Structure 1
Amino acid sequence: MGDSTALLGRHDALLCDLDGVIYLGNAGIPEALHVVTLAQSRGIATGFVTNNAGRSPQVVAEHLQLLGLDVDAETVITSGQAAAQQLSEMLAADSPVLVVGSDALMEAVVEAGLRPAGLDEVLANPEASGVAQGYDPDLVWSRLNDATRAVRAGACWVAANTDSTRPTDLGLMPGTGMMVNAVAAATGVEPQVAGKPNRPVFDTAVRRAAAERPIFVGDRLDTDIAGARASGITSLWVLSGSHGAHDAAVVPPEQLPDHVGLTIAAVLEDPIEVSIDMSRETGAASARARAPQGDLVQIDCSASEAAVAGVTPSSAVTALQCLVALRRAGVTTDLAAVAATIDRALSITAEEHDSQGRSMVDREVRHG
């Protein structure tokens, strides 16, 4: 492995999701802290794009600083900022906005030149008013009732994101999307969505990093990876957060990543090279790759079924890269059974990884 051939050495900016990539809950993921610091020491720009609208960029930056990272608020882009900006482009300056979210979302609305307002003012002139909805850990049901009434009356409705779950140190928990869906179900209206996978937040991150060859690291296929691909950014999907192999077997092809890694430490490795053979006549296809430890992994597909060989805990990520490569190549064979085999191996991989008490990056620092 060399710095120039590893993923990190091929890019001039490391852009990351936060929940499930850099931290889980309040706890930092050790690999992530090492990788970000290493990237900065090499002059590689870093930036963070989060769909969590519950905290301001300054609060997020302070959290990252407490974890040991040298960052400031300018490196953080939140979906709350994006939602407020989107509303400001739809409404006149100083228009009233019902904020269904945290204080951070309210601050973003003010910074965008709009005015947080109560339900009565919004209902007085709904066509000239807005509703901004984002994550709020202290949400009460009456706020959803207010949002429902405002949206039903015709107010412009922008949601910071529609993530159904959010990764935490206690496992997956309900995300903003659950609350957005409640309002949508009650009104029959779908919101405009400002955060990932929509392109503006990615464009902002690239612009702030002054990057020409960025890589984006995320744990969700439907937001992080889909958004990076739609924005023309190389993507690394990591398994330290929300999604697993079973998701990769069923999501639309445009949500599949360029690269797969157990954690963000994969940027310090050479990318996994997958060879694919396909037959137009029979519809058969195969993908094979050699894991870093030397194991050969192969997935064989007929028109109706698929099988995988060589999957062990040490080669599970390589097998998942093969699955992703087949689906990106247009293979339509049902890969659910293969994904289940990979997920079982990955669960062992994750347990071993956690029990070691050290990371790939720790070894890189000691021996590199």
Structure 2
Amino acid sequence: MSDYILGSHQPLAASYPLALVDLDGVAYKGHLPIEYAAESLVSARNSGLALVFVTNNASREPEDVAGQLTGLDIPTSPHEVMTAAQACARLLRSHVQPGAKVLVVGGAGLLTAVQAEGYTVVSSTDDEPDAVAQGFHPSLGWEHLAEGAYAVSRGAIHVASNLDLSLPTARGYAPGNGALVGAVQAATGVKPFSAGKPSPAMYDMALEKAGVSSALVVGDRLDTDLAGARAGGYHGLHVLTGVNSARDDILALPQERPHFIARDLRGLLETQPEVTRENEWFICNDARVRILDGALNIDSAGEPDELDIVRASCNAVWSFVDEGGEFDNTSIPHFSTL
């Protein structure tokens, strides 16, 4: 079960040279802090863990992101930020040569990144752009999307910073870049290339920049953060402070499964309990679960931590469905503390 939930006898911060940390839903939510995030990240860094903040948000400059983190008591330099805008601009090189004309549909972060890669930024389809680079910005409107659609319809390569359908804010979840990219795709019938997670491109770029060969991916979304970890061959820590829940972990698709689960970023400073198997039982500390007649069966003896139940349940359910079993999703209990 080396590809399932793993254990670690030492804190995760001591097990990896670098952590690739998502922002929204992990380090903060919208413009609000997340409990334990600042002190956990600072402690992990002080213990020797290097940090790079990797975000699918392409609307902001690395300096702005670093400033926000620093204002939330997570001292950060722009060099510790990797944005989807930077990855999008780098991905353009796979399709058009530097110096080509690029229509940017997005914010200042994407504009700066595209210029930094040596492209000529234009503002109109009438300028005959060779490519369209699209990233999220709250000010984008119909005219911007229409301009992108006109250019793509005329043959311009379409590259998106990410395809996230939703964007976490302090008030809830709003339409993300994927929703806006979908409008251009619907109008043109052309599927865009994507640079953001779940592509591991940003992770690979961050490791190359840091000069290390391994890293721990830390995120709140299975379909982007953790899928990117799986796609790139990295271990992933899912923190339950954002989009996806513990129930989602148990039901995760193979390509989106985490290797570790924690309530929040304190998990970086903690050891991770191992999940073992004895006959049909999967055991994590005091938690014992099995699959009985296609349903999750939890041993009622003792008072195991709910997170240990989740860890054991992940390996039990994943093993069962990977062997072709049909799992009863309704058998997953409500976790009151997660």
CA deviations over 1:212-265 (Å, ceiling 9, x no partner): 442111011111111112222221001101111343344421210100111111
Partners of 2:190 and 2:298 in 1: how far apart? 44
More helix as a share of residues: 1
- Equivalent in 322, 328, 336 of residue 329 of structure 2: 336
- Equivalent in 60, 68, 87 of residue 92 of structure 2: 87
Given that residues 32 and 265 in structure 1 are in contact (C-alpha distance below 8 angstroms), is that contact kept between their aligned partners in structure 2?
yes
Secondary structure of the residue that 2:244 maps to in structure 1?
Answer: coil
1:5 to 2:10 alignment:
yes
Given that residues 288 and 298 in structure 1 are in contact (C-alpha distance below 8 angstroms), is that contact kept between their aligned partners in structure 2?
yes
Partners of 1:151 and 1:309 in 2: how far apart? 57
Secondary structure of the residue that 1:90 maps to in structure 2?
Answer: coil
1:288 to 2:278 alignment:
no
Given that residues 46 and 209 in structure 1 are in contact (C-alpha distance below 8 angstroms), is that contact kept between their aligned partners in structure 2?
no
Given that residues 44 and 268 in structure 2 are in contact (C-alpha distance below 8 angstroms), is that contact kept between their aligned partners in structure 1?
no
1:143 to 2:144 alignment:
yes
Given that residues 301 and 333 in structure 1 are in contact (C-alpha distance below 8 angstroms), is that contact kept between their aligned partners in structure 2?
no
Partner of 1:165: 166
Deviation at 1:266? 1.0
Partners of 1:313 and 1:140 in 2: how far apart? 53
Partner of 1:215: 216
Aligned length: 328
Given that residues 20 and 53 in structure 2 are in contact (C-alpha distance below 8 angstroms), is that contact kept between their aligned partners in structure 1?
yes
Partner of 1:26: 31
Aligned positions of 1:268-307 closer than 5 A? 268-276=269-277, 285-290=280-285, 296-302=286-292, 304-307=294-297
Structure 2: unaligned runs, 5 residues or longer: 1-7
Aligned positions of 1:124-139 closer than 5 A? 124=128, 129-139=130-140
Partner of 1:324: 314
CA deviations over 1:303-333 (Å, ceiling 9, x no partner): 5333334599972322222232234432543
Partner of 1:72: 77
Structure 1: unaligned runs, 5 residues or longer: 279-284, 291-295, 351-368
Q: Would the alpha carbon gap of residues 155 and 170 (structure 1) be closer, same or farther in structure 2, given more than 3 Å must change?
A: same
Deviation at 1:65? 1.4
Secondary structure of the residue that 1:287 maps to in structure 2?
Answer: strand
Partners of 2:214 and 2:106 in 1: how far apart? 35
Q: Would the alpha carbon gap of residues 143 and 225 (structure 1) be closer, same or farther in structure 2, given more than 3 Å must change?
A: same
Given that residues 302 and 333 in structure 1 are in contact (C-alpha distance below 8 angstroms), is that contact kept between their aligned partners in structure 2?
no
**Higher RCO, Cα 8 Å, sep 6+:** 2
Q: Would the alpha carbon gap of residues 213 and 82 (structure 1) be closer, same or farther in structure 2, given more than 3 Å must change?
A: closer
Secondary structure of the residue that 2:140 maps to in structure 1?
Answer: coil
Given that residues 287 and 298 in structure 1 are in contact (C-alpha distance below 8 angstroms), is that contact kept between their aligned partners in structure 2?
yes
Partners of 1:312 and 1:46 in 2: how far apart? 39
Partners of 1:316 and 1:185 in 2: how far apart? 43
Partner of 2:119: 114
Secondary structure of the residue that 2:274 maps to in structure 1?
Answer: coil
Partners of 1:148 and 1:309 in 2: how far apart? 56
Partners of 1:39 and 1:182 in 2: how far apart? 41
Look up the equivalent residue of 2:327 and give its one-letter code.
Answer: D
Q: Would the alpha carbon gap of residues 297 and 130 (structure 1) be closer, same or farther in structure 2, given more than 3 Å must change?
A: same
Secondary structure of the residue that 2:99 maps to in structure 1?
Answer: coil
Q: Would the alpha carbon gap of residues 42 and 245 (structure 1) be closer, same or farther in structure 2, given more than 3 Å must change?
A: closer
Given that residues 250 and 318 in structure 2 are in contact (C-alpha distance below 8 angstroms), is that contact kept between their aligned partners in structure 1?
no
Partner of 1:247: 248
Given that residues 161 and 195 in structure 2 are in contact (C-alpha distance below 8 angstroms), is that contact kept between their aligned partners in structure 1?
yes
Partner of 1:53: 58
Secondary structure of the residue that 1:46 maps to in structure 2?
Answer: strand
Partners of 1:188 and 1:272 in 2: how far apart? 48
RMSD of the alignment, in Å? Answer: 2.4
Given that residues 88 and 113 in structure 1 are in contact (C-alpha distance below 8 angstroms), is that contact kept between their aligned partners in structure 2?
no
Partners of 2:33 and 2:183 in 1: how far apart? 32
Partners of 1:159 and 1:312 in 2: how far apart? 50
Partner of 2:228: 227
CA deviations over 1:68-114 (Å, ceiling 9, x no partner): 22221111100011111111332122222121111211111111111
Secondary structure of the residue that 1:298 maps to in structure 2?
Answer: strand
Look up the equivalent residue of 2:92 and give its one-letter code.
Answer: L
Look up the equivalent residue of 1:336 and give its one-letter code.
Answer: N
Secondary structure of the residue that 2:93 maps to in structure 1?
Answer: helix
Given that residues 88 and 114 in structure 1 are in contact (C-alpha distance below 8 angstroms), is that contact kept between their aligned partners in structure 2?
no
Partner of 1:357: none
Partners of 2:9 and 2:299 in 1: how far apart? 31
Q: Would the alpha carbon gap of residues 336 and 266 (structure 1) be closer, same or farther in structure 2, given more than 3 Å must change?
A: same
Partner of 2:4: none
Partners of 2:302 and 2:270 in 1: how far apart? 19
